Each structure stands twice: as C-alpha cells, then as structure tokens.
Structure 1
Amino acid sequence: MENNTAVLGAGFSWGFKSDNVMKCQEQQEQQAGENEKSLNSMVANLVQSQGMDSKGRKRRLDEPTNSQPQMMVPPRKYNVSKRRPHHSSISGQPLPLHRGLELMSKDQVQHILVEVMKNYPVTQQLVQTKLADFNFSIDKCEFLLKEKLQQLHESIPYSRSYDYRSLSDYAFVRMKPHILEFLNCLVDCVLDRIPPRVDNLHESLKILDMATDMVTRLPRFQLASNNYYYDKCLEQLACLWCTVIEHLARDVIMTVNDAPLLRSWIQKLEVYNESCHGILTKPLNQFKSLAVVDAGVTDSDSANGANATRNQWSGSTDNYTVGDNQ
C-alpha cells in the first residue's frame, strides 16, 4: 500500500503547534499589553486634568489675589506585571488516513468501503474497474470457500455428528443464510476463473472440479424442497461445465495432446453426476462427444479412476466438515 496520500500526518511534529502560530500569539499578547498601558496612561491624565481644574476654580473664588498657579506633580504609576498561566502547546489528533488503514482489520476496511460505495454510487464503477485488473488464484478462492463452508457446518444445530444426509427442517432454517452465502460465493469464484476472464482452460476445469466436489459433499435435508438451493447451484455448475467444454472443443491441439487428462475429467464428472442424481448429464455427454476423448472412455474404468482422483482438491470428506463436536 502506498503511503503517498492526500492526507498527511503530523510526522515528527508530534502535535506541537508550528512556529508561525507561536510567533503570532506572542505578537498578539505584546500588542494587548501595549494597548493596556496606553489606556491606563490616558485615564490617569484625564483624572489629573479634572482634579487640577476643580482646585483652580476653588482658588479663584477663595483667594482671588493669588495669581500664580502651583505646579501639580502627577503621582508616579508603577506597572505591575502579572504572571500569566502557561498552557501546553501539545494537543491530541486523529491518525492520518494511511496510518489508520494500516491498523484497520479486513472487516473494518470492508465495512467502510461498502458504506462509501452506498453513499457515493460513483465510486462503485471505480472499485469494480480496479477489481477487474486483479488476478486471484484458485488457492485464494479455495481458502475463502473453506472458511464459509466451515461457518455453514458450525451453524448445524444440536449434535454435529448427526447424519448429514437427512437434516431436519429446523436445521434448514438455522443454516439457510450460511448456505446461500456459501453457494453465492462459490458461483462468483467460478465465474471469475472461466473464459474470457482466463485463457487457461485447465485452470477453469480445476476450479469447476473443486466447486462441484464441494457442493456434492454439502449436508442435505430430509425434505426435498429444502435441497432446492443445492440443486439450483448444481444446475448452474452444469452450465459452466458446458461453457468450458465448448471452448475446449475449439482448441484442437489441446484436445489431442491432453486426451488422457481430459478422460480423467470425464471420469470425475461421472462420479459427480451419480452423486447429484443426473444433474450433470448434459456436460458429461458433451464431454464424451469429443472424438479423441470418447475413444478412451469406458464405463468399467470410470468408477476406479474417478475414486482415485476425486480427492485432488478436497482430500477426504473431513476436509470440508467441522469435527464431530458435541
């Protein structure tokens, strides 16, 4: 993060007032003192002149023969300096912008950024443009999805060692916000890693494999309608598989050179399609329609090959579930 921001901190000034401010205050205090002295002198002269006039009139009435006025010596006035209280010039101040951003957590920065975009919609286009320039790796997407998947499993009520394939309606109500958050995040990550966002089709196949494996392992519910969001997400993933396979069919060199690797993807799709009761049938048939790939695919070796390669991303089932905590 660059520190060249419009709002700069005090740095080594440490909250002290600048020299110009201090000089200005000293000049103001000196000018006030001179004005006070001048006012005192004017008042003293006025009082003395009034006293001399009244005494002169009385002499003219009482002693008319005395024509020589007496000189009045004004009393000396001594200026007494007062001790002014000394105020400290150090004052607290908030952190500069770049320093505050360094100290803020990810959630705090995200909250402020969302508030700014809500209050100033013009900034949304700027932020979206900057995000489009970033290239987030599959590992980052996987880390984020596992965090949200863990939150989903932690929201399961009662015992977490309960059968994950037949949860109750009450569990669905408790888990629904976490389910929607996970599925939306999953689709967003996959959409960011398929053409035309990326040119490497192997990378697109990897993230599709990871996402499909995660969705097929999610806890399901007794009531079929509660599994609606899972099935809807699988339908979206099926469309994404078809999109990537269409791009793959146009790349003849990749289709020929990577035929063994493509056959392994077909074997994985067959296992996923069996787990989700045929939702992935369309992309599976589209994959098999490739002439070079179809030559080496048989139903007999699909189960053995898929089971051996399915855990490339997930390892075991426990990697996507929270421990059996009571």
Structure 2
Amino acid sequence: MDRISLENLVTTLCQHNPGLSNQISTLTPAITVSSALECLRSKLETVFLGLPYKGDQQGDYAYLRVKPAIEDFLAAFADYLEHFLPPNESQLSNSLAFLDSATTLLWRLPVWNNAINNHSKKVMFEQLAQAWVVTFQEVAAASTTGLGLGYEMWMQKLRMHHEITMELGVAIEFLNSIFAN
C-alpha cells in the first residue's frame, strides 16, 4: 500500500471510529527539530532532482517541472514553522534552532527568472521573518536579560541569512529594538 492509500485508510478509520484519533495521536512519535529538518531536506532534494539536466535551470520549463515539489516543500515548511513557534513549542531553544536551519533550507530553493514563480517563496520568507520576531519576543519576555550573551550570535546569524535573501529585515529591526532600549 502506498503512502497516500495508507493516509486515506487511516483518515477513513478515524472518521468511522472517533476514538482512534486520540490513540493514533498518542502513538505517533513526537516531531523533533532534527526529524522536521530531515523531512524538509528530503523535500528540497526532490525539487533539485526534478530540475532538467540541460537548458535553462531558472526558466519557466524548469519551474513547471518542479512546481509540485516546491508546493509540497512549502506546505511542509509552513506546517513545521507553526509547530515550532511559541506557544506550540515550549522550548525556545528548539524554536531558534529550527528557524536557523529552516531559513537556510528556504533560501536554497531556486530563484526563477520569472518573478511570478518566486512569489510563493517570497510569501514564505515574510512568514518566516514574522516567526523570528515572535520567537524573539518570547525569548525576551522569558528572560530578564533578553537574549543576553546570545544576542550577538543571533544577530550574526540573522544578518548572514538576510545578506543572502534580503528578506529578514523585519526580524533584524526587531532584534535591534530590543537592545536599543
């Protein structure tokens, strides 16, 4: 049985037996930062494997070949992003670790010649920037010293990501504002 058939079977069983949903939830292993990142890496690899071997790697033909894989990656990215944000994730170190590595994965997505093809990636970067802000807000609220000694490290990481993507200015401004006061 393939994955989709198995998912459909489990969904149908849960609809007919509502008590199964709770049992399945308790038996399902918890999502960890490493398992989430491994899943995202695998989905990103699928994008690269779908690119044509020859020709324009950034053109419309290449994009159309990998569009379903990109959509799958971005959907999983959004799900994991929500999962690792406070208050869903109580360990802020997990939130920060996920955000750092996930940001690297997102900026590795291809950049296309046609700006329209880059739209979904740009939207995801906007959500990611807000996720950084939300996490920094929680870190600052949880500590009397804000990020303390970690401030410089996180500012360096954010600046590195921003230099590559030019998409995380909101998060950098917020982190600066925490320590400007």
TM-score tier after normalising by the smaller chain length: 0.7 to 0.9
Give unmatched runs, 5+ long, in structure 2. Answer: none
Kept after mapping to 2: 8 A contact 1:194/1:204: yes
Kept after mapping to 2: 8 A contact 1:201/1:248: yes
Q: Structure 2 vs 1, CA of residues 163 and 157 (structure 1 numbering), >3 Å: closer, same or farther?
A: closer
**Structure 2 residue 142 is the aligned partner of structure 1 residue 142:** no
User: Given the alignment, which residue of 129, 149, 152 partners 2:47?
Assistant: 152
Tell me the equivalent position of 1:180: 71
Q: Structure 2 vs 1, CA of residues 205 and 122 (structure 1 numbering), >3 Å: closer, same or farther?
A: farther
User: Given the alignment, which residue of 224, 229, 232 partners 2:123?
Assistant: 232
User: How far is the alpha carbon of 1:280 from its aligned partner?
Assistant: 1.2
User: How far is the alpha carbon of 1:115 from its aligned partner?
Assistant: 3.2
In the TM superposition, 1:240-279 aligns within 5 A as 240-253=131-144, 255=146, 258-277=147-166, 279=167
| Identical-pair percentage | 27
Aligned partners of 2:19, 2:99: CA distance in 1, in Å?
28
Q: Structure 2 vs 1, CA of residues 124 and 139 (structure 1 numbering), >3 Å: closer, same or farther?
A: farther
Q: Structure 2 vs 1, CA of residues 207 and 254 (structure 1 numbering), >3 Å: closer, same or farther?
A: farther
User: How far is the alpha carbon of 1:119 from its aligned partner?
Assistant: 7.2
**Structure 2 residue 95 is the aligned partner of structure 1 residue 204:** yes
Kept after mapping to 1: 8 A contact 2:47/2:70: yes
Kept after mapping to 1: 8 A contact 2:47/2:66: yes
User: How far is the alpha carbon of 1:121 from its aligned partner?
Assistant: 3.1
Tell me the equivalent position of 1:288: 176
User: How far is the alpha carbon of 1:141 from its aligned partner?
Assistant: 1.0
User: How far is the alpha carbon of 1:259 from its aligned partner?
Assistant: 2.1
Aligned partners of 1:224, 1:124: CA distance in 2, in Å?
45
Q: Secondary structure at the match of 1:121?
A: helix
Paired amino acid for 1:201: L
1:196-253 alpha-carbon deviations (Å, 9 max, x no partner): 2222111101100111111112111111111111101101111111111111121224
Aligned partners of 2:19, 2:11: CA distance in 1, in Å?
9
Give unmatched runs, 5+ long, in structure 1. Answer: 1-103, 296-326
Tell me the equivalent position of 2:25: 131
Kept after mapping to 2: 8 A contact 1:239/1:283: yes
Aligned partners of 2:19, 2:76: CA distance in 1, in Å?
21
Q: Structure 2 vs 1, CA of residues 269 and 157 (structure 1 numbering), >3 Å: closer, same or farther?
A: same
What CA RMSD, in Å, does the superposition of the two structures yield over aligned residues?
Answer: 2.7
Q: Secondary structure at the match of 2:149?
A: helix
Q: Secondary structure at the match of 1:290?
A: helix
Aligned partners of 2:22, 2:56: CA distance in 1, in Å?
42
Aligned partners of 1:214, 1:138: CA distance in 2, in Å?
13
Per mean C-alpha deviation after superposition, the further-off stretch among 121-130 and 209-218 is 121-130
User: Given the alignment, which residue of 213, 217, 226 partners 2:108?
Assistant: 217
Pick 1 or 2: higher relative contact order, CA cutoff 8 A, min separation 6. Answer: 2
Tell me the equivalent position of 2:5: 111
Aligned partners of 1:152, 1:264: CA distance in 2, in Å?
31
Q: Structure 2 vs 1, CA of residues 163 and 217 (structure 1 numbering), >3 Å: closer, same or farther?
A: farther
* Corresponding residue pairs, total: 180
User: How far is the alpha carbon of 1:134 from its aligned partner?
Assistant: 4.7
1:25-51 alpha-carbon deviations (Å, 9 max, x no partner): xxxxxxxxxxxxxxxxxxxxxxxxxxx
Aligned partners of 1:125, 1:149: CA distance in 2, in Å?
35
**Structure 2 residue 63 is the aligned partner of structure 1 residue 168:** no
Kept after mapping to 2: 8 A contact 1:169/1:223: yes
Larger radius of gyration: 1
User: How far is the alpha carbon of 1:114 from its aligned partner?
Assistant: 2.0
The ranges of structure 1 where at least 4 consecutive aligned residues each deviate by more than 4 angstroms after the TM superposition are 122-126
Q: Secondary structure at the match of 1:275?
A: helix
Kept after mapping to 2: 8 A contact 1:117/1:124: no
